[in-house]
Chains A and B, each alone.
Chain A
Amino acid sequence: MSGLDFVVAALSPFHVAIALAGVIAGTVVGALPGLTATMAIAVLVPITFSMDPASALILMGAVYTGAIYGGAYSAILLKTPGTPSAIATTFDGYPMARRGDGDLAVTLACVSSVFGGLVGAAFLLGLAPPLAKIALAFGPVEYFWLAIFGLTLISALSEGHLLKGLIGGCFGMLLTTIGVASVSADIRYTFGSQTLIGGIEPVAALIGLFCVPVLIDLVAVPGRHLKVPTETRGFRLPEALSLAWRHKFNLVRSSVIGTIVGILPGAGGSIAGLVAYSEARRSSKRTEHFGTGEPEGVEASESANNATVGGGFIPTLVLGIPGTPPDAVILGALLVQGIRTGPKLFVGEESSIVYIFIAGLFIATLLMFPTGLLIGRYAYRFIVTVPKALLVPTVAFMTIIGTYAIRNNLSDVVIMIVLGVVGWALDRCGFKPSPIVLGLILSRIAEDGFVQGWTIGTARGNVVAEFFARPISIGIIVFIFVSLFYPVIARRWRIQQEAKNGHET
């Protein structure tokens, strides 16, 4: 089969229909806090057994890409990331919605997600076998530094109060250590409580820290949740496309970051979004506007997290190592279908399956554009117009059922509500929830990497070299320092330049 034949096969009415259905279903699932792409794909697996492998892959890929995008809706409109991948979207998406630009933020998220998804799929198509080697080059120490790189975002999210942000980040990291230690399996810091043995589920904590404070404030005052636009403004697509074009380098850079992070097993969309957001903020001319409703922040997060879809398939299909949790479920479904993953999958007899799937992934991502715009518009209109007496119970109900569904555990619901109250109180005293959430999300990766790196370093007799002398680690450490200090240096340089220009005039 030639390249065109794969596209024609992917464009069969059946494939287009399942891609469309998958994208819509995925978007709705992703928008509901607590329901993840992994869960949606796992539910689909038995259905795919009756399909041919290419169709099954297209359906699961479409659900996956739709779910990652769907997380942006609740992140923008409710300040609750529908999926952990959309954490960084809340930082600027929600402030945009609060000031009356929710429709623009949703459209911008759609445009960025489609762009990121296409870039990830393009890398999967053109560079999968060589890029898969990146996954093998990353050891525990590199993961540790990558998590620390994500944590440098705390400096950006602390709104001028770095100490409070850092304390909040430490608190979040400490919360993650409660329960069973992932490396040694010791039970830690439960203080005799049965409820805490299972630990604090990051997604439940995320819902609690972000959504419950919004509900607490929403129920207390009679005003509307979001600013209602005075006139009908449609999708605001030309505005979103114009912004995307103006920030094209940000989109490309974030999509490449998303693809590379997606290749790294276990890293996932949340880290991709955070790292891309951090880089976007560092390199932007409007650094000080990040966190207050800057469109570049939404573009960075959304393009990066959707690029992880294509990126994650690279180690999954080439090495048989799933890049992200949904990839692990898809890999399982492929094995049941009798597909053997490996480099030969791209050149052997079964290559047609992979190439039809990649063509299908392109089609699903393109279909996300009209469906995403439509669903986004209705979601925005619903949130803006629904009476508060219905909005509050509906969102509260969603948080309860969504949190319960993560591990079928009511303790998670109680922890979620308690953390929400703690987050609300801390916010009143200037300790923002974002650094706490960053600590919660990144701590597990950081601890695993740190402990494993420490053990390997001790066995080799040189812990310092293990952490500081590996080429990729050095590269990430350089980025960490640049990310931390570049804004300060750039600001001083700008002030000096302005003073110099002032003297000259």
Chain B
Amino acid sequence: MATKPERDTPGIVLAAVFILIGAVFLYDSANLLDPDSFVFPVAICVVMIVLSMAFIAWNLIRPHPDVEATAVHGSTPRRAGLVVVMLASAFVMPYVGFVVSGLGAFVALMLLAMFEPWSWSRALIYGVVCLAVVSGFYAVFAKVFLVPLPEAPFL
């Protein structure tokens, strides 16, 4: 049995968002006086808006039979947790230093990505790996490549 054509609603919503983004950029372009600054981005904005409108019109007139939005499987809290931990690590780095924020983020992400039961031996091994990875990367970047990684102000 043939599937009933459906509208790509997420795609239509995002196309509308792209039109909005293009409009905001076009509006901000009015502040630029030098044509060298705005001729290229304005051209891109116009093309993006036209393409997005074409996408919406196409979907409204001729709905596509296979809506391609990918289904989300798995744990959403873990997904959100990963993003929050990574962002938090970046935001606290100037205050606690690279090593502390790195260790904290590593441990938090390790807990988030763990699907098996913890045991003492596993916790010990993973803890050692955590220390080795963070200190190893710190040594390579700070001491070999001389990258000025944030230091804790209290140290």
Contact = CB atoms under 8 A, between A and B. Distances in A.
B86 A417 contact: yes
Contacts of A417: 83, 86-87, 90
Is chain B's interface secondary structure helix, strand, loop, or mixed overall? helix
B93 A396 contact: no
Nearest to A399: B86
Interface in A432-473: 443, 446-447, 450-451, 454-455
Interface stretch (A291-299, A321-329, A358-366, A405-413): A405-413
Interface centre among B83, B89, B146 (most CB of A within 10 A): B83
A428 B69 contact: yes
Given A400-B90, A414-B90, A161 B18 contact: no
Nearest to B31: A188
B22 to A, nearest CB: 8
Size band of the interface chain B makes with A: 35 or more
A454 B78 CA distance: 50
Contact of A181 (B36, B47, B90): B36
Interface string B85-109: 1110111011000100010011101
A167 B55 contact: yes
Contacts of A170: 18, 44-45, 47-48, 51
B5 to A, nearest CB: 15
Interface string A173-187: 110010001011010
B10 A429 contact: yes
B106 to A, nearest CB: 4
A221 B74 contact: yes
A149 to B, nearest CB: 17
Contacts of A455: 36
A399 to B, nearest CB: 8
Contacts of B40: 177, 446-447, 450-451
Size class of A's contact patch?
Answer: 35 or more
A405 B109 CA distance: 21
Given A43-B144, A392-B113, A430-B68, A414 B87 contact: yes
Given A188-B32, A220-B78, A417-B87, A393 B145 contact: no
Overall SS of chain A's interface: helix
A181 B4 CA distance: 48
Contact of B44 (A164, A174, A219, A431): A174
Contact of B15 (A39, A167, A183): A167
A105 B84 CA distance: 34
A188 B107 CA distance: 39
A220 B37 contact: no
A396 B14 CA distance: 28
A172 to B, nearest CB: 10
Nearest to A34: B141
B149 A189 contact: no
Nearest to B75: A220
B73 A221 contact: yes
Interface string B8-40: 101101110010011001001100111011111
A410 B150 contact: yes
Nearest to B55: A163
Interface of B: 8, 10-11, 13-15, 18, 21-22, 25, 28-29, 32-34, 36-41, 44-45, 47-48, 51-52, 54-55, 58, 68-70, 72-76, 78-79, 81-83, 85-87, 89-91, 93-94, 98, 102, 105-107, 109-116, 126, 129-130, 133-134, 137, 141, 144-150
Given A191-B28, A216-B83, A220-B78, 11 more contacts: A174-B25, A184-B34, A186-B32, A186-B33, A186-B36, A221-B73, A392-B82, A397-B106, A397-B137, A414-B87, A430-B8
Interface of A: 35, 39, 43, 161, 163-164, 166-167, 170-171, 173-174, 177, 181, 183-184, 186, 188-189, 191, 212, 215-222, 387-394, 396-401, 404-405, 408, 410, 413-414, 417, 420-421, 426-431, 443, 446-447, 450-451, 454-455
15 contacts: A39-B145, A163-B54, A174-B44, A181-B34, A183-B37, A186-B32, A219-B79, A220-B73, A220-B74, A389-B115, A392-B82, A396-B109, A397-B137, A401-B102, A410-B94
